Amino acid sequence: MADIIRLLPDHVANQIAAGEVVQRPSSVVKELLENAIDAGATEIKLIIKDGGKTLIQVVDNGKGMSGTDARLSFERHATSKIQKAEDLFNLHTKGFRGEALASIAAIAHVEMLTKTEDDEIGTKIKIEGSKVVTQEVVVAPKGTSMLVKNLFFNIPARRNFLKSDQVEYRHITDEFHRISLAHPQVAFSFYNNGSDVFQLPGNDFRKRIVHIFGRKTDEKLVPVEEDTQVVKISGYIQKPEFAKKSRGEQFFFANNRFIKSPYLHHAILGAFEGLIRPGTHPGYFLNLEVDPGTIDINIHPTKTEVKFDDEHTLYAMLKSAVKHSLGQFNVIPALDFEQDQNLETPYAYKGKKVGIPQVVVDASFNPFEEVKKYKGGTSGNYTKTSAKGWENMYAGLEVAVDHPSNNNSTLEFESEVVNSSIFESDNEAADHVTHTFQLRKKYIITTIKSGMVVINQSRAHQRVLYENFLKNITIKEAVSQQLLFPLTLSFTPSEIEILDEIKDNLCTVGFVFGEVSNEGVEIKGVPVLVAESEVQMIMEQLMSDFQQEVPGDSFSQSDMLAKTLAKTLSVKTGETLDEFSQQKLVNDLFACKESTLSPFNKKVYIMITENDIERKFI
């Protein structure tokens, strides 16, 4: 038999390998920005078009490359950053694999322009699908410009796999945030489709955070500082009261590299325990500086997980450092105030080895002690508020249901629908639901002729609200309540962009917007179901949901909006419902088009028949 194994041609091998490094446009952005940082640039410009699919350009003023190096840089495993295996344990650069440029050049049209300080003249190389098209000597400024066009031009399957421009743009923004936060001293600018997204002057860490996440962020930050032999921790946490529904603002950097660490994240949650509302996430921007020999950077090009030698010690130190900062901030708010004044030198007090007389940490401090009306609380006081809030919600629902286009909106009507679904006889339906019982503040139990139904209260309410909102969006005639004093909520620039996309749909459910600026949004009216105090929470939830996934068409956008609103506004497990509310919920649920599943496809109720019960008694 003839031999059948053959070596793949280089360009095919390169394409396959490229899949590892370049998953989407943001991977290219990451690699190019990191190369610019490694080249010692003090100014980096990022330009993208169409979510990076048609164009990504990174221009730096770093050390540049000689003609030979420029050509070599596109070879696989060509790197100037390490020479031997041991160097891997003493890394001071972002790159070390020598794969990025080879991979990018295998699957895109690339143009590199580069010049070193010493050379008179620069080099321009055009390379497409791993083939060098031209190499010329040209006049160029010091530094490197990398232009990457038509990503995946030769792998249509990969190109089709890319998400919408908006989603890809969001991934790029995330990457930009991570790298520009890790290197605050480097000036960055970012242009998307010709418009200017960020102009970040080289600065200290605090100012960089504020530039990226908006002016309002400044007052939220509390410094964290801890210098030990194992690790130097520095950076900021956000004050507990600013904890958000979304996880967006959580950043760990190890030796100036963005990392993900569920384990260390847990340490922070531990430090914040009892200080933040359930269901919200603390924000943090923390740098960990360790000996490069004690950290194992993942060898996989796109992974951000790392391994620390002494993770347990790190965990304990991080937790105590964060706790310490939280304690200080509770007891001496003036310290924080001073900090704000000292923007130029945020570390000014560093090294003064805490000259403040005894810092007494009030361990029992709980900012929510007085705020009993918060959902999810369990005090006796709360139950009452909850029941009232619940009725209010219904008052709203009725207004909405009572819409002219819905000519029959009474309870009787709803019961007729009930009739067809699970209640067996007409009689029973006509009586509607008479007996209900709440179990463990989670389930509502009611009887039917053949036995009983156990309903998950939260999922049931989600279903009711979801259908209601969806209807409002479809008929575009939601009922809105005017706010006496318009609310101004502040958002980050990327959140404002999301808001722009979903604003029209938000109006159809009853939101009324005033002025939208770079800093924030004025809200003049809200849907009847929404209490003023809930607006902030709802908007945050919306941003966070849409940030994770941008629905492509307007139908799925409406669907997502209705889901988010339903999720946020529904009664939760742990809330006591009075009997009227229980029955109303049961009736409304069975008046829904689809009562068996929640909007998130979870079972809403189960039935236990008399037979089932009989069998248990045998």
The answer to whether residue 217 forms part of the interface with ligand ADP (CB under 6 A) is no
> Smaller CB distance to Mg ion: residue 14 or 558?
14
Q: How far is the CB of 158 from ligand ADP (least distance, A)?
A: 19
Contact in structure between 30 and 38 (CB atoms under 8 Å):
no
The answer to whether residue 60 forms part of the interface with ligand ADP (CB under 6 A) is yes
66 interacts with, out of ligand ADP, Mg ion, none, CB within 5 to 8 A per kind:
none
Q: How far is the CB of 544 from Mg ion (least distance, A)?
A: 32
Q: How far is the CB of 79 from ligand ADP (least distance, A)?
A: 3
3-state class (DSSP) for residue 594: coil
Buried b (16+ CB within 10 A) or exposed e, 103-135: bbbbbbbbbbbbbbeebeebbbbbbbbbeeeee
Q: How far is the CB of 144 from ligand ADP (least distance, A)?
A: 4
Return the residues of window 432-461 that contact Mg ion according to CB under 5 A.
Answer: none
- Cα angle for residues 130, 131, 133 (degrees, 5° grid): 135
- What is the size of the binding site for ligand ADP (CB under 6 A)? 23
> Smaller CB distance to Mg ion: residue 100 or 237?
100
3-state class (DSSP) for residue 453: strand
C-alpha 123 chain-centroid distance: 41
Neighbours of 275 (CB within 10 A): 18
How far is 544 from 516, CA to CA, in rounded Å? 19
Q: How far is the CB of 12 from Mg ion (least distance, A)?
A: 23
The answer to whether residue 100 forms part of the interface with Mg ion (CB under 5 A) is yes
How far is 69 from 122, CA to CA, in rounded Å? 12
99 interacts with, out of Mg ion, ligand ADP, none, CB within 5 to 8 A per kind:
ligand ADP
220 interacts with, out of Mg ion, ligand ADP, none, CB within 5 to 8 A per kind:
none
Residues with Cβ within 8 Å of residue 520, at least 6 apart in sequence: 216, 488, 489, 490, 491
The answer to whether residue 297 forms part of the interface with Mg ion (CB under 5 A) is no
Neighbours of 611 (CB within 10 A): 10
Structure tokens at 127: 């390379």
- What is the size of the binding site for Mg ion (CB under 5 A)? 3
The answer to whether residue 73 forms part of the interface with ligand ADP (CB under 6 A) is yes
Residues with Cβ within 8 Å of residue 472, at least 6 apart in sequence: 400, 478, 479, 508, 509, 510, 527
Return the residues of window 30-59 that contact Mg ion according to CB under 5 A.
Answer: 35
65 interacts with, out of ligand ADP, Mg ion, none, CB within 5 to 8 A per kind:
ligand ADP
Q: How far is the CB of 135 from ligand ADP (least distance, A)?
A: 15
The answer to whether residue 95 forms part of the interface with Mg ion (CB under 5 A) is yes
Q: How far is the CB of 28 from ligand ADP (least distance, A)?
A: 11
3-state class (DSSP) for residue 240: helix
What's the burial of 323, exposed, middle or buried (CB within 10 Å: 0-12/13-18/19+)?
Answer: buried
Structure tokens at 144: 């490197």
- Cα angle for residues 549, 196, 494 (degrees, 5° grid): 25
Which of 377, 343, 390, 436 lies closest to 569, judged by CA? 390
> Smaller CB distance to Mg ion: residue 35 or 564?
35
How far is 409 from 29, CA to CA, in rounded Å? 55
> Smaller CB distance to Mg ion: residue 258 or 263?
258
> Smaller CB distance to Mg ion: residue 98 or 270?
98
> Smaller CB distance to Mg ion: residue 100 or 470?
100
Return the residues of window 105-164 that contact ligand ADP according to CB under 6 A.
Answer: 144
Return the residues of window 29-48 that contact ligand ADP according to CB under 6 A.
Answer: 31, 35-36, 39
Contact in structure between 57 and 146 (CB atoms under 8 Å):
yes
Return the residue of 19, 98, 129, 270 that touches ligand ADP, per CB under 6 A.
98
Which of 400, 398, 419 lies closest to 410, judged by CA? 398
Q: How far is the CB of 40 from ligand ADP (least distance, A)?
A: 8
Q: Which residue is nearest to ligand ADP (CB)?
A: 95
Q: How far is the CB of 30 from ligand ADP (least distance, A)?
A: 10
Return the residue of 25, 51, 52, 64 that touches ligand ADP, per CB under 6 A.
64
231 interacts with, out of ligand ADP, Mg ion, none, CB within 5 to 8 A per kind:
none
> Smaller CB distance to Mg ion: residue 100 or 321?
100
How far is 566 from 568, CA to CA, in rounded Å? 6
The answer to whether residue 104 forms part of the interface with Mg ion (CB under 5 A) is no
Q: How far is the CB of 2 from ligand ADP (least distance, A)?
A: 38
Q: Pick the stretch among 22-30, 43-51, 98-106, 226-234 that binds Mg ion (CB under 5 A).
A: 98-106
Which of 332, 118, 130 lies closest to 223, judged by CA? 332
- Binding residues for Mg ion (CB under 5 A): 35, 95, 100
The footprint of ligand ADP (CB under 6 A) covers 31, 35-36, 39, 60, 62-65, 73, 78-81, 95-102, 144
